[in-house]
Amino acid sequence: MAISVKQMLEAANAAVPKISPAEAKEMIAKGALVLDVRDAPEIEKSGKIPGALNISRGMLEFRADPDSQYHDKTLARDKTVILYCASGGRSALAGKLLQDMGYSHVYNVGGFKDWADAGGAVEKA
């Protein structure tokens, strides 16, 4: 049976805890990894959370899998990972994917605009 994007988002949002920018700031202060899953042109336009690792949604599986030749050693299954994108959809799907790949401490802070509007620091490209 085919699944719709709406169903995928519902499942992802049910599985991946949504946190506020304030909660994210506290977790970042304790060493959480921030992962921006937007594409490079989006980051060039708006900036990013300082220190965020950018892995576009389309490459995440390859970067997150330790057995992949494209694995990013910054990603580890035991790390706390906070994801964001432009509006929260891709980051929810990415969080669910990471959970499916064995990452156990995964959170979605939602959209970059939410972060910036809440007074979160922004690093310009």
Q: Each residue of 28-43: pLDDT tens digit?
A: 999 999 999 999 999 9
The pTM score is: 0.95
Domain membership flag for residue 125: no
> What's the domain range around 66?
5-117
Q: What CATH number does residue 73 fall under?
A: 3.40.250.10
In angstroms, rounded to a whole number, what is the distance separating the alpha carbons of residues 56 and 62?
Answer: 11
Residue matched to tokens 């304790």: 30
Q: How far is CA 108 from CA 2, 33, 46, 47, 81, in A?
A: 26, 12, 19, 18, 9
Domain membership flag for residue 20: yes
Give burial (CB, 10 Å; 0-12/13-18/19+) of 29: exposed
Which phi and psi (to 5°) does residue 91 adopt? -70, -35
Domain membership flag for residue 123: no
Weakly modelled stretches of the chain, pLDDT under 50: none
